[in-house]
Structure 1
Amino acid sequence: MNSVTHSDQSTRLLMTPEMAENILEERNGRNRKISKELVRRISRDIKNDRWIFNGQPIIFDDEGHLIDGQHRLTAIARSGKAVETLVVSGIEDKKAFHTIDHGKPRTFGCNLSADKISNYNANCPTRNRPPLITTTNRRSKRKSARSASHPRGPT
């Protein structure tokens, strides 16, 4: 097996709001537009001590540019609280930026399933999902389901 040498480094550190602001001002140039709702949610979790260190890193390329983590850093800056995070720097391949955040998002149901909770769909809260109303369409005699909050109402 061939040995590969890279200059990538990872560090686990306490990211302060001041550090986060500095990174956002000095090193954030090519990231997507900020999602205010995502920043609000992360910031709220940080303020309420619900933010969990999960090993997902803040990532910098080999020139020091931020390539992943702007929402978390913005939330840290806005929360006024420091959080523990992993920082990876020195990513050399510029194409790496285009491969970040392309995985399938994990749903609440996926998390329940991973925690071995049986019948996890029935255990999911329906607060954000309107109930489905099943009716029979008289013209086609087929059953159809439409949300009660659908613009044209249930079928």
Structure 2
Amino acid sequence: MVIDGGLPQDAPTPRLVQVTPEMSEILLSRTVVNRRLDWGQVDFLADSIIRGEWQLTHQGIALDGPLDTGCLLDGQHRLNAIIKAGIPVWIYVFEGLPRTAFPVLDTGKRRSGVDTLSSTGEKYLPVLYSTIRHVLLFKNMPDSSWSGNGSRIANGRILAAYNEDSGMYREAVAMGREISRHVFASQTGMAVGYFVTAEAAPAVKADSWIEGLTSGANLEIGDPRLALTKVPHMRVRSAKRRYAMREQVAIYIKSWNAWVQGEKIEKLGFKKTENMPMPVEVKFDR
């Protein structure tokens, strides 16, 4: 293995620069070869900047010459995000990258949210990632669509949410996996429902709730738990009307709220035009 073979003659020079919106506009005006702009990615990055979640990494901006005169080869999404956010960020600028390198830029595999959580040692990572993501969507945009570019969440936020409440997320995944065996719903939908209701009502002992859903023993007509187990097509892909994740969570919360409040309900459903129901809050007395 060669430890120090000397730098190649065409090696780019990295500089750490605080790039402002004004500087971004200048650099973008010097774009000569670049990819088609993905405005969804721009919105995603701008949102990260506005939230204060932007992190300095090795990924930056590439120019074919000096910062003052070089043409932009890579970084148009980051620069447009800086402009949209209106906030300067620190970023590495690589000067003197050969234009022949352009075809191989950003061709590596993007790190997924599941990859981000792999270091936690948790089981069932796809369900865990999906649960955390949808809990964050519930908390931040309950009445908006949970699909498309507007619903993307940075991996850093996923990991931060896990670290803040790892035990509860672990419990929610376990409960979601168990409940979904008895209810026509996805593991994620039931895990998210369990998480947000348990968080809102920590004083409620949910043992009988879970037992009713999983065993169905001695449940009378009108019991919200029975109604939840009878909701059709929450996870059947071939069904004509399959409930999306947001709808599954809403139906779970409707059933839970009725059970906590002692109400009778025989049929559950949710329309896309409805607002997301909020879980009943039952706190401990101080």
Partner of 1:118: 122
How far off its partner does 1:151 sit?
8.2
> Matched residues in 2 for 1:11 and 1:41: separation?
25
Q: Any unmatched runs of 5+ in structure 2?
A: 135-145, 148-184, 188-234, 243-286
Residue in 1 that maps onto 2:256? none
One-letter amino acid of the counterpart of residue 104, structure 1: K
Structure with larger RCO (C-alpha < 8 A, sep 6+): 1
User: 108, 113, 117: which is aligned to 1:108?
Assistant: 113
Question: Residue 34 of structure 2 corresponds to which residue in structure 1?
Answer: 31
**Aligned with 1:91: secondary structure?**
coil
Q: Which has the higher strand share?
A: 1
Deviations 1:93-151 (A, max 9, x none): x32100011111111001111x233212231125468948xxxxxxxxxxxxxx64668
Q: Which string of whole-angstrom CA distances, capped at 9 and with x for unpartnered residues, describes residues 58-103 of structure 1? A: 11124822111000000001111000000001113x3210001111
**Contact 1:16-1:83 within 8 A present in 2 as well:** yes
Shift of 1:152: 5.5
Give the one of 46, 49, 52 matched to 2:52: 49
**In the alignment, is the contact (CA less than 8 A) between 1:57 and 1:85 conserved in 2?**
yes
RMSD (Å) for aligned C-alpha atoms: 2.7
CA contact (8 A) 1:131 1:148 kept: no
The answer as to whether partners of 1:39 and 1:74 remain within 8 angstroms in 2 is: yes
- Please report the TM-score for the alignment, with normalisation by the length of structure 2: 0.43
Question: Helix, strand or coil for the counterpart of 1:104?
Answer: coil
List structure 1 segments (4+ residues) > 6 angstroms apart after TM superposition. Answer: none
TM-score, normalised relative to structure 1: 0.76
- What is the CA deviation profile of residues 35-69 of structure 1, one whole-angstrom value per residue up to 9, with x for unaligned ones? 11110011111112111111212111248221110
- The count of residues paired between Structure 1 and Structure 2 equals 138
Aligned partner of 1:69 in structure 2 is 75
- Structure 2 vs 1, CA of residues 64 and 152 (structure 1 numbering), >3 Å: closer, same or farther? farther
| Closer, same or farther: CA 66–122 of 1 in aligned 2, 3 Å | same
**Identity fraction in percent:** 28
Q: Does 1:15 align with 2:5?
A: no
Deviation, structure 1 residue 4:
3.9
Separation in structure 1 between the aligned mates of residue 71 and residue 54 of structure 2, nearest angstrom: 25
Structure with the larger helix share: 2
Work out the CA distance in 2 between the residues paired with 1:150 and 1:34: 35
Give, in whole Å, the separation in 2 of the partners of 1:82 and 1:122.
36
